[in-house]
Each structure stands twice: as C-alpha cells, then as structure tokens.
Amino acid sequence: MSFGRFDQGDDGEAMSDINMTPLIDVMLVLLVIFIITAPLLTGSLKLDLPKVEAPAAQQVPTVLDVGLRKDGQLYLGDKAITLVQLKARFAEAARQSDKTEVHISADAAVPYGDVAQVMGAAQSAGLSRIGLITQQPTGAASAATR
C-alpha cells in the first residue's frame, strides 16, 4: 500500500471525474462580490426637502358611472340625466382632468346604438378612457373555482 500515488492500473484509462474545487471557489468569489455590491445598488439620496403647503396630488382618477336602462333612460351615478346634460358633464370632467374614466353599464336589451351614442359623447368631450361594465355568467364563476 503506497500513499500519495494514483493507481495507474494496467489499461491507463483517463480520469473521468470532474474536479469541483475550482467551480466552488468561483461561486464563493461571486457570492462575496454580490454581498459587497448589493447594499451599494439600493442606496438613495439623503435630501432635506423643503416644506411647502400645497394640496396633495390626486392619485385616484375620477370615475363617471353611466347607466343605461332598456327603456332608454340614462343615469349618471344613481341620478337620472338627459343626453344633453351628460354631454355637458363629460365636457366639465374633461376640463378638470384628461384621465377621467367613464364606466358604462347597460342593460343587455339596450340597443348597441344607444351605447355607441354615449361612448361618442364621451370621446367628443375629450374622454378616451371608456370601460364597459359586465357580469360573469353564473356557470363561469363555478368553473373558475374548480
């Protein structure tokens, strides 16, 4: 039994094992580099900002909920309104903010032309964020939870 020698054997085959030590050394060096540089990447400027009295910026966009019943009656929120009054309200909302959203919920029996008329009134006033409110079918809700 001899120490410190590789067994050459009779056939002289090449050693097929992968030496993992260099790979582990490289990974540890990369880990140390990331540990050192990570706090430098998350740093921020330390500023003493001036104090000013001003209203807070509005974060939530204004939403106009328009409803159409199958008898042709228009609603803004829960109040009945005519198309002329609705156009004036759209123009006022567009002057206040161009990010005002219009949510239209219409009865299934309402003709498409009536919904298109409300959408056109909103667009002509300068409101481009228009959404149609719908409901999921009762079978779709149970199928989605399976």
pLDDT digits (tens, 9 = 90+) for 15-57: 778 888 999 999 999 999 999 888 777 766 565 667 777 776 6
Is 119 part of any domain? yes
CA angle 54, 57, 60 (to 5 degrees): 150
Is 20 part of any domain? no
**Cβ-Cβ contacts under 8 Å for 109 (sequence gap 6 or more):** 70
Containing structural domain, residue 88: 63-135
**How many whole angstroms separate alpha carbon 121 and alpha carbon 112?**
14
**What predicted TM-score, i.e. pTM, was given to this entire model?**
0.54
What's the half-sphere exposure (Cβ side, CA atoms, 13 Å) at 10? 0
Is 92 part of any domain? yes
Does 135 have pLDDT greater than 70? Answer: yes
Is 96 part of any domain? yes
3-state helix, strand, coil in the chain (%, to 5): 40, 15, 45
* Total domains present in the chain: 1
Is 74 part of any domain? yes
Convert the pLDDT of each residue in 72-114 to its tens digit.
Answer: 899 998 889 999 999 999 999 999 887 889 999 888 888 889 9
Does 9 have pLDDT greater than 90? Answer: no
Strands 63-68 and 101-106: parallel
Is 48 part of any domain? no
Q: What is the structure's pLDDT at 78?
A: 86
What is the domain-level CATH number for residue 131? 3.30.420.270
Is 95 part of any domain? yes
Query: Mean pLDDT throughout 123-133?
Result: 90
Is 100 part of any domain? yes
